[in-house]
Amino acid sequence: MRFIDSHTEGEPTRVIIDGGPDLGSGTLTERRNRFRETADQFRQCAINEPRGWDAVVGALLCEPTDTSCAAGVIFFNNTGYLNMCGHGAIGVAVTLHYLGRIGLGVQRLETPVGIVEVNLLSPNEVSIENVPSYRHRSKVSVDVEHLGTVTGDIAWGGNWFFLVEQSPAPLTLDNLRSLSDAAHLVRNALKRDGITGADGQEIDHIEFFGPAQSPEAHSRNFVYCPGGAYDRSPCGTGTSAKLACLAADGKLAAGENWIQESIIGSRFTGSYRSASDETIIPTITGTAYVCSEGTLIQQAGDPFPNGIGGSPA
């Protein structure tokens, strides 16, 4: 498989540009399901060690069903498949421009949860107009082992998030282990108590907030991803979910900027326009840089052709 790696505000994206699975035709959702059911070894090879690592998000380029789109894309990580990925969409746009496949200006990407508009402001700076986002429930409390009662909002930004305003520990890199452990406990407690997103969908992302370290930012976050890695970027879908909560509370007006700082200090600028009484259309702006390209190889006799923990040859 040929790939190009980039990072968006520190968070890696691996775009598969050739040699991925043939998923046939149909909607992106149908092809994502086919990927999961019949070709998961490709995901394992691309993401698992020793060829990949837990933090990387993969992006398989596909032919779009909507001819107005520059590409279709299916996102995946170390545990499975994502509905949407904000930092990944920025990385895909920068990668497509690096390859000479798209120019600057407005482009469209087709994902399993809808069409995402991307605006390349420069070869490295991108604004994405994400899928409709909303707060599903506010001030939901859950009893968490070792933490006591934790209260947060449930919101959709392309993935399901539980957003906790009061982080259980200061948002510094020194506290990554304790933050990850706390987020894991919160996610387990939500699952235990049957607390879900709409239609019983699992809440697989946990987001803690605290004061920003930069005077230019409005808040700092820690985002715990489905596979146990933390997001190095401020998280595009997580920032979209945050904007939906701010809008619902009347704390951020349409068109007003919100600067979200990540656990490593990188930043996204977010804003929104109203789509309905309950739904917003977020715009997330950040930067991405291509950092490597190459070919993943599976030699005969390799005991880990699909990575450590992956399926055997």
Q: State what percent of residues in the chain have pLDDT above 90.
A: 93
Instruction: Examine the residue annotation and report whether 62 is marked as an active-site residue of this protein.
Output: no
Question: 97 near 64, Cβ under 8 Å?
Answer: no
- Please name the helix (run of DSSP H) or strand (run of DSSP E) that holds residue 115, with its range, or none: strand 114-120
Q: Which of 69, 225, 235, 245 is catalytic?
A: 235
pLDDT, mean of residues 177-196: 98
Q: Report the b/e string of 286-307 with b at 16+ CB within 10 A.
A: bbbebeeeeeeeeeeeeebbbb
End-to-end CA distance of the chain: 16
Residue 133 is given by DSSP the state B
Mutual angle of helices 236-248 and 86-98, in 10-degree steps: 130
Residues in CB range of 310: below 8 A, 6 or more apart: 41, 44, 45, 48, 304
pLDDT tops 90 at residue 310: no
Of 54, 19, 76, nearest to 297 by C-alpha is 19
| Strand pairing class (114-120; 205-210) | unpaired
User: What would the pLDDT profile of 19-64 be if each residue is shown by its tens digit?
Assistant: 999 999 999 999 999 999 999 999 999 999 999 999 999 999 999 9
User: What would the pLDDT profile of 71-108 be if each residue is shown by its tens digit?
Assistant: 999 999 999 998 889 999 999 999 999 999 999 999 99
Q: In the prediction, which pLDDT does 219 show?
A: 98
> What structural domains does the chain harbor?
2-131+291-295 (3.10.310.10), 134-278 (3.10.310.10)
Q: In the prediction, which pLDDT does 83 show?
A: 85
pLDDT, mean of residues 107-135: 94
Distance CA 10, CA 56 (A): 10
Question: 89 near 128, Cβ under 8 Å?
Answer: yes
Mean of per-residue pLDDT scores for the chain: 96
User: What would the pLDDT profile of 239-258 be if each residue is shown by its tens digit?
Assistant: 999 999 999 999 999 999 99
pLDDT tops 70 at residue 69: yes
Instruction: Examine the residue annotation and report whether 235 is marked as an active-site residue of this protein.
Output: yes
Question: 6 near 290, Cβ under 8 Å?
Answer: yes
Q: Which of 62, 85, 225, 245 is catalytic?
A: 85
Query: Is the pTM of the predicted complex or chain greater than 0.85?
Result: yes
Dihedrals phi, psi of 89, to nearest 5 degrees: -65, -40
pLDDT, mean of residues 117-142: 97
Q: In the prediction, which pLDDT does 122 show?
A: 98
313 band by pLDDT with thresholds 50, 70 and 90: low
